[in-house]
Amino acid sequence: MWRAVADRELRDLWLAGRGLALLFSFSVLVSAITYVGATSEGINFLEKRETVNLTLQVAIAFGALVALLAAADAISGERERGTLESLLLTPMPRASLISGKLLAALSLWVGAMAVAVPYVWFLGRDVGAAGEAILIGLVAGTLLAIALTAFGIVVSTLARSNRISLSVSLFVLLALFAPTQLPTGAQQGWAGDMLLRVNPVTATLHYIGRVVVDQHAWTRDLSWLLSPLVGAVVLTALAVAVAPRFITLRGGALG
């Protein structure tokens, strides 16, 4: 049954053109970054690796954003469009409904990475960073995408309106990305280190930067992936096991 829901959602996302339009916009952005990085004269070895890191982080940020927004619309959007009642009347476990929508939303993350891979390879091939960057981006980025998508599903289930669901999800995403803009000095010390580690977004981006730019062994900083891993497991469990109990036609607690 969850496969049937996923198939329906995938058709709505991709055959209706929404997913393709988003990926086209993303490809324009990443093409501009790649062009600047590939044509700049005098760029040194380290700066090339930083360009690879930037491209990879943009891909992760975009993929996580669109997957989160799709998840935030999953239940609250069906409720506002008047289609949730027909779904609830079908002989389908609500956990299957959530699982199918979760997988469909994650397809946007997969699409974003599929678009980014050729660009990362093109930028990183001359500095020996292509294969490692792609692999690390897929592993770390997937953990983050799963965590944020599951969070979006939970919010969508509890929110009383689609606007509240989207607003809360965007606010939380911006709050998670905000520490990446802190000055370098503010990120040092035990408090700064703790802030970066417990935040799944900053932890993921920090880990990728250590591997791609600083050329650390991928096993050296694995502790930085603890928060995205815990977030992915805990939030997915909440989305699949707990959130289905709160699916109602009038919305839940948020709002």
253 domain residue, yes or no: no
252 domain residue, yes or no: no
Question: For position 185, what pLDDT does the model report?
Answer: 58
234 domain residue, yes or no: yes
Question: For position 252, what pLDDT does the model report?
Answer: 66
128-131 long-range contacts (CB < 8 A, ≥24 apart) are: 129/48, 129/49, 129/52, 129/212, 130/52
136 domain residue, yes or no: yes
251 domain residue, yes or no: no
pTM recorded for the entire structure: 0.90
98 domain residue, yes or no: yes
- What is the SS3 assignment for 159? strand
Question: For position 109, what pLDDT does the model report?
Answer: 94
Can you tell me which residue has the tokens 């699982």?
99
24 and 108 Cβ atoms separated by less than 8 Å: no
Domain that holds residue 134: 2-246
72 domain residue, yes or no: yes
Based on the structure, what is the number of domains in the chain?
A: 1
Distance in angstroms (rounded) separating the CA atoms of residues 50 and 56 = 10
Q: Which helix (H) or strand (E) holds 99?
A: helix 94-124
Question: For position 104, what pLDDT does the model report?
Answer: 92
255 domain residue, yes or no: no
pLDDT digit of tens for each residue in the chain (255 aa)? 777 878 888 888 888 777 888 889 889 988 988 888 777 755 655 578 888 899 999 999 999 999 999 999 999 988 888 888 787 777 888 888 899 999 999 999 999 999 999 999 998 888 888 888 999 999 999 999 999 999 999 999 999 889 999 999 999 999 998 887 766 655 666 677 788 899 999 999 999 999 998 888 888 899 999 999 999 999 999 999 988 888 887 776 676
- What is the SS3 assignment for 254? strand
Question: For position 86, what pLDDT does the model report?
Answer: 81
Question: For position 50, what pLDDT does the model report?
Answer: 87
